[in-house]
Amino acid sequence: MAARHVLITGTSRGIGESLAEHYLAAGDHVVGCGRSPSSLSHENYTHCALDVTDAGAVDRLFRDLKKRFKTLDVLINNAGIASMNAVALTPVEVARRVMETNFIAAFNFTRESIRMMRRSPAARIVNISTVAVPLRLEGEAVYAASKSALETFTRIAAKEVAPFGITCNAVGPCPIRTKLTAGVPDKKIQTIIDAQAVRRWAVPADVVNVIDFFLRPESSMVTGQVVYLGGVG
Amino acid sequence: MTISDEQVLEVVLQAMRATNLARDEASQLVVSADAPIFGSDSSLDSLGLVGLLLDVEEGLQAAGCDVVLSDERAVSQKRSPFRNVQSLVAYISTLARE
């Protein structure tokens, strides 16, 4: 398979970093972005330090990508932030920031990517959701709502981009040991794991496996789907 | 970005010709400076409109004019800047001057 051009948001750490490493090892050209610098060093990796909610910075990124690459084959909207708090105690600015990062930024990257993906033979958009959506856990209302918006967006965008040969799917991981879950109390994590059919922490490779399935050229009929890890949903 | 109205018009008409290649005989778009694009006088649906506008963007980019044709009035029957060739050309020319 020819090397693909893969754009991943939120590659400074966690799942995004693992995804970047995986597709670099597969021989793809990877462009990553995030607020922090990346520790990844690879001849086929380009890191763009930006805030995914900064529309001007995203516009400049895509102008640069259009100059460098004729097509974009894969977009993985991975950048996300969490807010574990009761509704009554969550400041409105926090709710706004979570929506901006988890949903609006993914929308903007998708909108821009469609323009570059039309020439790709197997263009794929993958959004990262969470099992917090189907589990409807107390204390995660804002975070889960933002990912719920992303899931609905995934299902509808799938219909709109299908005429261009682009698929759009989402994967909803159960808890993985990352910075995002580090601040969640053990008891809360255990509640989630107890609700899973497969009662263990997931690892980044579990997410990679689902995304690899979405990215296969043979998966051109798989679109508008949300796959949760661990048997949730 | 400097592009003349005539150049914009030619890009739009070229994109309409390209769109027609993928459409059956009964639903061909009229390709002319005063033709409708989207709305009750046209057979183009909203997904077809997206494809056409992305082709127009590419044509403009090739002509050195880098604009994004997104507008909240896009699929409005009365107010869409994409309702006919004339309004689309005027809209692009305004964007190009900004």
Residues of B in contact with A63 (CB under 8 A): 66
* Cβ neighbourhood burial of A175 (10 Å; 0-12, 13-18, 19+): buried
Residues linked to residue A49 through DSSP beta bridges, in sequence order = A34
CA angle B51, B47, A223 (to 5 degrees): 100
Across A63-78, average pLDDT:
94
- Give the pLDDT confidence of A150-178 residue by residue, as tens digits: 999 999 999 999 999 999 999 999 999 98
B26 is a domain residue: no
Instruction: Give me the residues of A, 48-67, that contact B with CB < 8 A.
Output: 63, 66
CA distances from A49 to A11, A102, B14 (A): 10, 18, 38
The average pLDDT across A40-65 equals 96
What topology does CATH give the domain A5-227?
Rossmann fold (3.40.50)
CB-CB contact of A123 with A215 (8 Å): no
Counting residues of chain A whose pLDDT is more than 70, the rounded percentage is 100
Does the pTM surpass 0.80? The reply is: yes
Domains of chain B: total: 1
CA distance B44 to chain A (A): 14
Of B47, B66, B70, nearest to A163 by CB-CB distance is B47
Contact B66 A63 (CB under 8 A): yes
Residue B38 belongs to a domain: yes
Is B14 a domain residue? Answer: yes
Output DSSP code: residue A101.
I
Domain assignment of residue B29, yes or no: no
**Residue B1 confidence (pLDDT):** 59
Domain boundaries, chain A: 5-227
Handedness of CA A55, A212, A177, A233 (dihedral sign): positive
Tell me: the pLDDT tens digits for A210-232?
A: 999 999 999 999 999 999 999 99
Helix or strand run (H / E) with residue A49: strand A45-49
Which among A160, A153, A169, A45 is positioned nearest to A108, based on CA atoms?
A: A153
Q: Alpha carbon A89 to chain centroid distance? A: 27
B86 is a domain residue:
yes
In angstroms, how far apart are the furthest CA atoms of chain A? 51
Could you tell me the residue range of the domain that residue B88 belongs to?
A: 5-20+34-97
Identify whether B59 is part of a domain. Answer: yes
